[in-house]
Chains A and B, each alone.
Chain A
Amino acid sequence: MSADATSALKAKFPQVTGRASADHAAVNVPIADLVAVLQYLRTEAGFDHLADLTAVDWAEGVSPRFTVVYHLFSTTAHGYIRVTANCADDTQPSAPSVVSLWAGANWHERECFDMFGITFSGHPDLRRILMWDGYPYHPLRKEFPLAGIETPLPDDEITAETGTKAIAAPMAGGPFVASVGEMNLTEAEPRAKDESWGERSSQPGQTPLRQVKE
């Protein structure tokens, strides 16, 4: 069924090309034709359920860098199709919104914007959804470090009340994150105990346990 859908789609839109896939039928679409293709798939090919909408960042310096990925499902024929489109601009990526086709795309596009910084033109209410408003980064971009980045607190009132100016990078210093090139397992391990003293350095104000004669 999916093969038929792909060939019918290619007959109607010659600019659509096939895409390598390990499972479902998959097509590449020029981003200008994205809405027209998805509209056709929804109304005429029976793919009425927008299963998933996401994006992939192919790393800094790669062009095209961002690809938006749509997974459609047919609730009648029970088949999937994957539709992908490369965003034209690598620094200011954007894609057309499909909220007019599926109301459920609203939150998916907001998440995509939040995580990758892809702006969806025509979206009724494009703001962050998982991170807070005013958060300066897009965490799922490849240049964003796993450890996180120190960020100003979102609310001035909280800053005034607590005296804290910034939220520390959540995972900096471990347990799972070690700085590249400075891998030291002893230091990267998680510990709760007081590490200011040990075998090599004595506890402040106490005589060393072991005296090594020179």
Chain B
Amino acid sequence: MATDFSFPDAAAKSAAAKPDFETEKMSLSMGPSHPSTHGVLRLQMELDGEILTKCDPVIGYLHRGDEKIAENMTYNQFVPYTDRLDYIAPLANNMAYAIAVERLVKLEVPARCQAIRVITAEMARISAHLLGLGAFGIDTGAWTVFMYAFEEREKLYKLFEELTGARFTTSYTRIGGVSRDVPEGWTGRVNAFCDQFLPILEEILALLTRNKIFMDRTVDVGVISKADAIAYGLTGPNLRGSGVGLDLRKDKPYSGYEQYEFDVPVGTKGDCYDRYLVRGEEMRQSVRIIKQAIAKFPGGDWYAKDARKIFAPPKDKILTSMEELIQNFMIVTEGPQMPAGEVYFEAENPKGILGFYVVSKGGGVPWRLKIRAPSFCNLSILPKICVGSLVSDVVSILGSLDFVMGECDR
């Protein structure tokens, strides 16, 4: 008699057998205050054992009504509110908002102002990605990365403080310019930071890139296909991690990004590990952009001098000249004067594409200001990618999506 080699495996056997206990699905609420939900995000999950069968993100805990507030104040007054969208990279938000409003009045700021904005936005990107990697590291069991990353962020904060007067909520841009010119020797210090940052970045990435634990928790976890990424409106490193090379700095350049050479890294699989790799490489590219911008840092005006109804002149001029005093008074009380019209501008922010849709009926206050928040769109894919994964994978997925609730809830 021939030997029968077709042993039924243990799992199939136990599945066929009638269980001697009742099983049922469990619902679990993760958040809103949970260390790995990065803010006040709540996930209402339905679990079968440890596998998610349903995931419903509940957002809105940080809703402040920014869009309503914007309709009730002048354009410049809203700049501090943009700090609090993606509060990890306020300088990039400031810039996106300022450019959106400037597009409304078709105002082009001088080359020096554009270069300042590019440098600050790229520094903000480095700062945001460092925090993103640090927090991702903690989520996946690597504490050290966070410590290294925060030391570098501290250096960046020192530079931000020197430039804007604030470490965190910078409110740096104004419509038609920035709040002040760069201080003496600041660009040199930024350059020095970049030089010392590159080897440290290699060290930080070396802690994760071939780390067995980190790879086990991220490779092939939370895979987002190209088609899904586009259908759900994903942007930024999350979209590029899925292999779509869309980067507005390259594809729809603004603020003079077309003069700088840099590469846009894209992933191949679209898993958490790819998103991590993309962020790591983007920091190197940001350093490249900063160094180029400093190397050919233009002189000249740092604000739009001709835009008399848009930009309030520097303080020393206000205090000494009648016309500038009147100009300042009008802009502060009535707001920068905008024509009627509507404009939609998107900027490539660290978290993805931040868009502002401004509807104006003329005057100094917008009729409607819609903020297209990248974190909002990026999170909307959670119900799709979390189903079928383990609870611990959800932590990896959240870390790799790198969202900010301040921006998501607005």
A contact residues vs B (CB 8 Å cutoff): 20-24, 26, 48-52, 54, 56-57, 69, 71, 73, 75, 78, 80, 82, 102-104, 106-108, 111, 115, 128-132, 139-140, 144, 146, 176
Report chain A residues within 8 Å CB of B260. Answer: none
Q: Would A130 and B409 be within 8 Å (CB), given that A102-B231, A104-B231, A139-B65 are in contact?
A: yes
Q: Is the CB of B246 within 8 A of A54?
A: no
CB-based nearest A residue for B63 = A130
A-contacting 9-mer, from B161-169, B197-205, B215-223, B343-351: B343-351
Between-chain CB contacts (< 8 Å), 18 pairs: A20-B341, A21-B343, A22-B106, A22-B342, A23-B345, A49-B233, A50-B233, A52-B344, A56-B367, A69-B370, A71-B372, A73-B346, A102-B232, A103-B228, A104-B232, A129-B59, A176-B72, A176-B73
The smallest beta-carbon distance between B401 and chain A, in angstroms, is: 14
Q: Is the CB of A130 within 8 A of B345?
A: no
Q: Would A103 and B384 be within 8 Å (CB), given that A49-B233, A52-B355 are in contact?
A: yes
Report chain A residues within 8 Å CB of B65. Answer: 139
Within 8 A of A (CB), among B225-279: 228, 230-234, 244, 246, 251-252
| Chain B positions 378 through 408: 1 when the CB is less than 8 Å from some CB of chain A, otherwise 0 | 0111001000000000000000000000000
A52 CA to B106 CA, complexed, in Å: 22
A176 CA to B372 CA, complexed, in Å: 25
Q: Would A23 and B103 be within 8 Å (CB), given that A75-B230, A75-B244, A75-B246 are in contact?
A: yes
The smallest beta-carbon distance between B232 and chain A, in angstroms, is: 4
Q: Is the CB of A146 within 8 A of B69?
A: yes
A117 CA to B230 CA, complexed, in Å: 27
Q: Is the CB of A104 within 8 A of B380?
A: yes
The smallest beta-carbon distance between B225 and chain A, in angstroms, is: 12
Q: Is the CB of A71 within 8 A of B357?
A: yes
Q: Is the CB of A52 within 8 A of B357?
A: yes
Q: Is the CB of A103 within 8 A of B231?
A: yes
Out of B103, B251, B357, B381, which one reaches A69, CB within 8 Å? Answer: B357
Report chain B residues within 8 Å CB of A49. Answer: 230, 233, 246
Report chain A residues within 8 Å CB of B104. Answer: 22
The smallest beta-carbon distance between B238 and chain A, in angstroms, is: 12
Report chain A residues within 8 Å CB of B409. Answer: 130
The smallest beta-carbon distance between B246 and chain A, in angstroms, is: 5
A176 CA to B228 CA, complexed, in Å: 43
Q: Would A107 and B377 be within 8 Å (CB), given that A21-B342, A22-B106, A51-B346 are in contact?
A: yes
The smallest beta-carbon distance between A172 and chain B, in angstroms, is: 14
B324 in contact (CB, < 8 A)? no
Q: Which 5 A-B pairs have the closest CB atoms?
A: A104-B233, A130-B60, A22-B341, A104-B232, A107-B380
Report chain A residues within 8 Å CB of B46. Answer: none
CB-based nearest B residue for A73 = B346
Out of A51, A130, A131, which one reaches B372, CB within 8 Å? Answer: A51
Report chain A residues within 8 Å CB of B339. Answer: 22
Report chain A residues within 8 Å CB of B372. Answer: 51-52, 54, 71
Given contacts A54-B370, A103-B232, A176-B72, 10 further A-B pairs with CB under 8 A are A49-B233, A49-B246, A51-B233, A51-B344, A51-B372, A82-B344, A108-B233, A131-B60, A139-B68, A176-B73
Report chain B residues within 8 Å CB of A48. Answer: 230
Report chain B residues within 8 Å CB of A52. Answer: 344, 355, 357, 370, 372
A24 CA to B355 CA, complexed, in Å: 14
Out of B60, B72, B252, which one reaches A146, CB within 8 Å? Answer: B72
CB-based nearest B residue for A148 = B65
Q: Is the CB of A51 within 8 A of B342?
A: no
B67 in contact (CB, < 8 A)? yes
Q: Is the CB of A78 within 8 A of B252?
A: yes
Out of A21, A24, A82, A146, which one reaches B68, CB within 8 Å? Answer: A146
A144 CA to B67 CA, complexed, in Å: 13
Q: Would A106 and B380 be within 8 Å (CB), given that A22-B342, A71-B344 are in contact?
A: yes
Report chain A residues within 8 Å CB of B343. Answer: 21-23
CB-based nearest A residue for B62 = A130
B47 in contact (CB, < 8 A)? no
A75 CA to B252 CA, complexed, in Å: 11
Report chain B residues within 8 Å CB of A24. Answer: 344
CB-based nearest A residue for B339 = A22
The smallest beta-carbon distance between B242 and chain A, in angstroms, is: 12
Report chain A residues within 8 Å CB of B410. Answer: 130
